[in-house]
Amino acid sequence: MSITLQHVSKSYGTEQVVRDVSLHVETGELFVLLGASGSGKSSLLRLIAGLLPVDSGRILLHDRDVTALSPQARGTGFVFQNYSLFRHMTVADNIAFGLSIRKVRRAEQRAKVEELLDLIDLHDCGDRLPTQLSGGQQQRVALARALAYQPNVLLLDEPFGALDVKIRAQLRTSLRAIQQRLGVTAILVTHDQEEAFDIADRIGVIDKGELLEVGAPTALYQRPQTSFTATFLGTANLLQARRNGTRVYIGDANLPAPPDTEHLSGQPVQVLCRPEEIAVSATRAEADAIGAVIGAGTVESISFAGHLQRVTVRLTDGSHAPLQIVLTPGDSRALALTIGQTVWLGVLAYHLLPLS
Amino acid sequence: MRELSPRSLPAFILIGFVVLYAGMLMVIPFLTILYGTFAKGLEPIIATFQDASVQHALLVSLLLSVIAVAVNALFGLITAWVLVRHRFTGRKFLDALVDIPFVFATPIAGYAVLVMFGRGGWFSPTLFPIVFAYPAILLVKIFVALPFVTREIQPVLEALPPDYEEAAYTLGASRWTTFRRIVLPEIRTALLYGIVLTFARVIGEFGAVSVVAGAIEGYTETATTFIFRALKDRDNTGGYSVSVLLCILSVVILIVMNHLRHRALDQR
């Protein structure tokens, strides 16, 4: 069951929370809407579920226009951040709720509940009350409840937001497995880029109600089209440059222009270098041997992030903000950097963005 | 603040004062009534409760109170729902308005009913009488206890996240089913508590009732107006007996309220 949005907009009073969003999510796809809090991502999800009426635009579920339908008639499974399990009902009754509304026979309801309890690995918890479960278990029950009546699509609003890091990682692995096994089309809303990278088939980046970019996780990370996406997904070093002919000029340095960037020719651009794509060398000669050299700089800070070393280097010409660089244990041992040391920087991979 | 040692003199005086205060205000009057009731043996008490006008007064009190409770339960629930779940101009004003019966002297409420529905009043009825008849008693009983159900349910509804109902909607439940199966179980204890409070309030109402009912013996006389008349007529045993009955009822209500309060705390 595919999900299609056509020019969907929504405002609360004078504040526009969703701006002219168009999107197509394929059957069986897990699509992640990624944005900061207040970006409009949850509102968009609620519009799809029918919990909010759209101001303009159309919503289609498997090519059927559901824009005017109530949430009850849309048949979407919705998982809320705070689980929203019915506290006075047992886990089994929670899971069976959607089935009981649809007047499914009791024996059939029981069988479905058992099947889902197995699926979420909570076989013996059917008789318990939600308050007797941990947060992670409650969220699994919420997922089972949303899946029980075999909804057309599954909508998850920051489903792991209230859980600790370890449980979150486990749950998203099991969510991905369940979603793939059932082949259900899903949209998951999150502000957590790691979560998005981990489970998404495709990611949509949303900011101020606008769907800025849609793409596969690696494509969005390596070749974003906007500086917002570049900086929102991971750490980004953005260098002001100009593309002329076949070269990109950054201050005194110049690099070969990446292919397919002719449309940016003659324009001021930004060069995106991810921290792990910048090579640090003690001498110019070494830097030349590794990659395209962008200049010399001074080490401003060194810190450890687990097994990696984070280094900031300010280019000597002072034209840019300090560059964020990540070094592997091998590189950091070999270089043995000290603060104030002069180093040469080369880039292994880079990407051009229009100057926004 | 540092707690006083229970054996110290200031603590002894403080505790003694509170016990004396509570005793003088609550226990001694009750014991006096109890003494007055049984002072002349059981016979006058039995005679009182066999008196047709007393039985009628008790029945009127009970029936009208039950109806007033039912009306207040329903409208209190709707009012709480509207105040919590809807945003509209004048909502805060309505919210403040709900408390008016708490601050109004009840005879004023009775007087307002007289002015509105009495002879020559704006809403003077043509088909059946309102004042000096059952409808007026019912009206004032409803009025004096109006806020209880609303005020009990409101905080519980406010604490219930809207997600809770939305979850039911996405699972296919209609608004009514959602209310019945999801919201009602959550507010049940608060609703019961509100109902018990309302009943306690309306069964004992005297001020407004005495203004609008006319206390016609065997017709509009209620338990409380009977007590007033009995004491005026120097029928002490009659007045005391009905008073004891109402007191016992109050104690039962108190026990039920305590039980409900503990249940609500357990649910949290």
Per-residue pLDDT, B4: 62
Residue A103's region, left for phi above 0, alpha for psi from -120 to 50, else beta, is left
B169/A51 CB distance under 8 A = yes
Does residue A320 sit in helix, strand or coil?
A: coil
pLDDT tens by residue, B35-72 = 888 888 888 889 889 999 999 999 999 999 999 999 99
B172/A86 CB distance under 8 A = no
B177/A101 CB distance under 8 A = yes
| CA distance, residue B263 to nearest chain A CA (Å) | 13
Position with higher pLDDT, B146 vs B123: B146
What is the amino acid identity at position A335? Answer: L
pLDDT tens by residue, A108-161 = 999 999 999 988 889 889 999 999 999 889 999 999 999 998 888 999 999 988
Per-residue pLDDT, A167: 85
B171/A87 CB distance under 8 A = no
| CA distance, residue B178 to nearest chain A CA (Å) | 10
pLDDT tens by residue, A250-285 = 877 888 888 888 888 888 888 999 999 998 988 888
| CA distance, residue A196 to nearest chain B CA (Å) | 24
B168/A86 CB distance under 8 A = yes
- What's the pLDDT band for A34 if we cut at 50, 70, 90? very high
Closest CA relative to residue A278, chosen from A343, A355, A353:
A343
Does residue B132 surpass a pLDDT of 90? no
Q: Is B10 on the interface with A (CB under 8 A)?
A: no
Which chain A positions have a beta carbon within 8 Å of B167's beta carbon? Answer: 78, 80, 84, 86, 145
Which chain A positions have a beta carbon within 8 Å of B164's beta carbon? Answer: 84, 86
Cα separations (Å) of A186 from A140, A154, A301? 16, 5, 42
Per-residue pLDDT, B147: 93
Q: How far apart are CA A200 and CA B59, in angstroms?
A: 70
Indicate which of A43, A51, A157 best probes the interface with B, i.e. most B CBs within 10 Å of its own CB.
A51
Residue of B nearest to A48 (CA): B170
Phi, psi (deg, nearest 5) at residue B248: -60, -45
Estimate the crossing angle of helix B236-267 against helix B43-50, to 10 degrees: 80
Q: How far apart are CA B17 and CA B42, in angstroms?
A: 36
Considering just the CA atoms, what is the radius of gyration of chain A in Å?
25
Does residue A214 surpass a pLDDT of 60? yes
pLDDT tens by residue, A179-195 = 998 899 999 999 998 89
Does residue B157 surpass a pLDDT of 90? yes
Does residue A78 surpass a pLDDT of 80? yes
- What's the pLDDT band for A41 if we cut at 50, 70, 90? very high
Which chain B positions have a beta carbon within 8 Å of A74's beta carbon? Answer: 170
Mean pLDDT of chain A: 90
Closest CA relative to residue A25, chosen from A125, A153, A140:
A153
Structural domains in chain B, sorted by start: 34-267 (1.10.3720.10)
Return the number of CB contacts < 8 Å for A and B.
56
Cα separations (Å) of B127 from A259, A321, B124? 92, 87, 10
pLDDT tens by residue, B168-205 = 999 999 999 999 999 999 999 999 999 999 999 999 89
CB A109 within 8 A of CB A116: no
Can you list the pairs that B28-33 forms with residues at least 24 positions away whose Cβ atoms lie under 8 Å?
Answer: B30/B247, B33/B240, B33/B243, B33/B244, B33/B247
Nearest to B172 among A49, A80, A98 (CB): A98
**What percent of chain B has pLDDT above 70?**
97
Can you list the pairs that A48-51 forms with residues at least 24 positions away whose Cβ atoms lie under 8 Å?
Answer: A48/A3, A48/A5, A48/A76, A48/A153, A48/A155, A48/A187, A49/A74, A49/A76, A49/A78, A49/A155, A49/B170, A50/A74, A50/A76, A50/B169, A50/B170, A51/A78, A51/B166, A51/B169, A51/B170
DSSP-derived letter for residue B223 is: H
Q: How far apart are CA A124 and CA A130, in angstroms?
A: 13
Does residue A309 surpass a pLDDT of 80? yes
Which chain A positions have a beta carbon within 8 Å of B171's beta carbon? Answer: 97-98, 101, 145-146, 149
B23's CB contacts (< 8 A; 6+ apart) are none
Q: Is B159 on the interface with A (CB under 8 A)?
A: no
Phi, psi (deg, nearest 5) at residue A26: -75, 155
With b for 16 or more beta-carbon neighbours within 10 A and e for fewer, the A182-207 pattern comes to eebbbbbbbbbbebbbbbbbbbbbbb
**What percent of chain A has pLDDT above 70?**
100
Which chain A positions have a beta carbon within 8 Å of B168's beta carbon? Answer: 86, 97
The length of chain B, given as a count of residues: 268
Does residue A224 surpass a pLDDT of 70? yes
pTM above 0.90, yes or no: no
Give the end-to-end CA distance of chain B in Å, rounded to a whole number. Answer: 29
A51/B166 CB distance under 8 A = yes
B172/A80 CB distance under 8 A = no
- In A104-215, which residue ranges form alpha helices assigned H by DSSP? 106-119, 135-147, 165-182, 193-199
Cα separations (Å) of A135 from A83, A145, A165, A174? 8, 15, 12, 15
pLDDT tens by residue, B7-19 = 788 888 999 999 9
Nearest to B171 among A70, A87, A98 (CB): A98
Tally Cβ neighbours within 10 Å of residue A76: 24
Could you tell me what percentage of chain B is helix, strand and coil, using 3-state DSSP and rounding each to the nearest 5?
75, 0, 25
Q: Is B169 on the interface with A (CB under 8 A)?
A: yes
Cα separations (Å) of B197 from A90, A199, B184, B256, B260? 31, 54, 19, 10, 11
Nearest to B163 among A50, A77, A82 (CB): A82
Mean pLDDT of B219-235: 88
Nearest to A77 among B169, B170, B173 (CB): B170
A84/B163 CB distance under 8 A = yes
Nearest to B185 among A49, A88, A146 (CB): A88
Which chain B positions have a beta carbon within 8 Å of A145's beta carbon? Answer: 167, 171
A84/B171 CB distance under 8 A = no
- What's the pLDDT band for A331 if we cut at 50, 70, 90? confident
- ipTM comes to 0.84
Per-residue pLDDT, A47: 96
Indicate which of A12, A74, A80 best probes the interface with B, i.e. most B CBs within 10 Å of its own CB.
A80
Mean pLDDT of A44-72: 95
Q: How far apart are CA A158 and CA A49, in angstroms?
A: 15
